[in-house]
Amino acid sequence: MKRAFLVACFLILNSFTFFTQDSIPRYWIEFTDKGNSSFTFDNPQMFLSDRAIQRRINQSIELDSLDLPISHNYIQSILNSGNFTYWGSSKWMNGIIVKTQDTLALDSIANYPFVVGLNQLKSTNQAKNKTKELDFNSLSQRKLAVVNTPYYPFGLAYNQHHLHKADLVQQMGFTGAGIHIAVLDAGFKNVDQTPALAHLFSEDRILSTYDFVRRETSVYEDHYHGEAVLSIIAGYDPGYYVGSASKASFHLLISEDVFSETLVEEYYWVVAAEYADSAGVDVINTSLGYTVFDDSTTNHTYSEMDGNTTIAARGVNIASAKGILCVTSAGNSGSSSWKYISTPADADFGLTVGAVDSNGLRAFFSSQGPSFDGDVKPNVMSVGWNTYYIPPGSEYADQGNGTSFSAPMVTGMVAALWEAMPYLSNMELIHLLELNSHSYNNPDSLMGYGIPNIYQLLLDNSTNDNLIDSTKRIKNVFPNPFMNQLTIFYECELNKEVDLALFTITAKQLHSERFLLQKGLNKMSLELNDNYPPGVYFLKIDNEVVKLIKAG
């Protein structure tokens, strides 16, 4: 990303006074057009980063009017018309959010020729003294010793990866490197003090932070929810806990106001998503959802869950049209009277994720589909029931429940797959996830297309010859480095017995075993002695040899 673009972005974000939580109303003012914009498609670097432009080129997406910033003259006309504080703008929705109690001025600007209309998004009586609960519940804190978590390096997180065979994809070397993810959430409390996330700072993979609710760059003192979500994607404590894309890079963005539940939060989401788009992100994770509000007259109905009516759903659809893959939690209303997905989980072009446990059993709380217009929702399922995550500032893992946790599991898997297959478009990747899910031929309103097998997806669709060496019988050995377990993929032309042996660098044989294999690709698992010292080893099967490293 160009340094000039980042500076420009934050000048826009920070050019107005910061405010703490308050109850002054927010209004949405929508414009008729973009005015006589000085921005043109011939010079997109003025309003998009190089990375955002390249994403469009890679996916054959043309620039359109939605990419152009809104009219500065229109904004200034509004701000000069009364006692207004600018609170955000959306080029996709072509309007601005203002904070004001100047109702006389509002009445006046409603008649401006360039104003379509205005809508109150947050009223004076909606501020709460107590923060609302978000959609996951934490269980008792716990930590298992490393010696009791044999699935190196995944540790406690092994089962939630293995349900999707995501551990195999990571062992092939795909952990989201080079993929940029925006996490839109309620806060990222103590991310900078959480040991399992320290690598993000030491490797400069926190690309930006911004709070669109309070209009400030600081996000680490706010709500814990986003930190828990981030840990599921990016956590890295080898042997104890590994996230679903520990090598990805991140923008940490707050769009959720934990002090109230109002329509303005959907607009904040769109503003944050536009920022993420302009910064060049590949994936947006949204573990948030909206159905009912503090002002019941603004509540959504199920008929509005049609994929393109709410502001949040429209925002997801536009972000998807710009080449971003939007992963959204289905919601936790499956056992309530509402029972259906929330928005933006209903969005036509988003990837909606419901919750199962690590055995694939659907969580009772996971919101149901379909969308009101009949689309399969949720699209896929992942582990959101008794999911391991790392709490803020803690070295200890915890377990929690919620589709807030299943969404980041899939976000990380998407990042790993996109690293391996960068030639895919966002919609192609969504289709492959659905196609490689266990209920693809018989989707329903509870599980959608089911649980994806991303390892099989990768084997069947990658054009990367390095994934599996077609010239050798030993196709893959992992983990490497290993601790006390090895998994080997070996291909046979015929049914036969093969002899496997493990040697030290001095040719001393430490382990031998015979396997009866079938024609085709076979998987072999080895349990090895814990006492082997760290160092170089060699695995031999028939006449082929693979070099391995024993971890310390």
Instruction: Give the residue range(s) of CATH 3.40.50.200 domains in the chain.
Output: 151-460
User: What's the Cα-to-Cα distance from 391 to each of 140, 186, 442, 465, rounded to whole Å?
Assistant: 11, 15, 37, 39
Cis-peptide, bond into residue 452, ω within 30° of zero: no
Give the model confidence (pLDDT) of 401-443 as tens digits.
999 999 999 999 999 999 999 999 999 999 999 999 999 999 9
Q: Which residues pair with 253 in a beta bridge?
A: 184, 210
- Reduced to 3 states, what is the DSSP secondary structure of residue 212? coil
Asked if residues 484 and 528 have their Cβ atoms less than 8 Å apart, the reply is: yes
Q: Which residues of the chain have pLDDT under 70?
A: 1-22, 124-150, 464-471, 521, 552
CATH architecture of 474-550: Sandwich (2.60)
At 123 the pLDDT is 72
- Reduced to 3 states, what is the DSSP secondary structure of residue 332? coil
- Distance in Å from the first CA to the final CA of the chain: 38
Q: Exposure of 115 by Cβ count < 10 A (0-12 exposed, 13-18 middle, 19+ buried)?
A: middle
pTM, full prediction: 0.83
Q: What does the CA dihedral 171, 172, 177, 181 come to, rounded to 10 degrees?
A: -70
* Rounded to 5°, angle at Cα 388 from 189 and 209: 30
Residue 541, C-beta contacts closer than 8 angstroms, at least 6 positions apart = 473, 474, 488, 490, 498, 499, 500, 501
At 132 the pLDDT is 55
- The CATH topology of domain 151-460 is Rossmann fold (3.40.50)
How far apart are alpha carbons 221 and 202 in whole angstroms?
20
At 149 the pLDDT is 53
The backbone torsions φ and ψ at residue 492, rounded to the nearest 5 degrees and listed phi first, read: -115, 145
Instruction: Give the residue range(s) of CATH 2.60.40.2550 domains in the chain.
Output: 474-550
At 136 the pLDDT is 58
Structure tokens belonging to residue 43:
């010079």
Q: Exposure of 479 by Cβ count < 10 A (0-12 exposed, 13-18 middle, 19+ buried)?
A: buried
At 20 the pLDDT is 46
How far apart are alpha carbons 423 and 408 in whole angstroms?
22
* Region of residue 290 (left: phi > 0; alpha: psi -120 to 50; beta: else): beta
- How many other CB atoms are found less than 10 A from the CB of residue 549? 13
Read out DSSP for 256-317? --TT---THHHHHHHHHHHHHHHHT-SEEEE---BS--SSGGG---GGGTTTTSSHHHHHHH
At 145 the pLDDT is 45
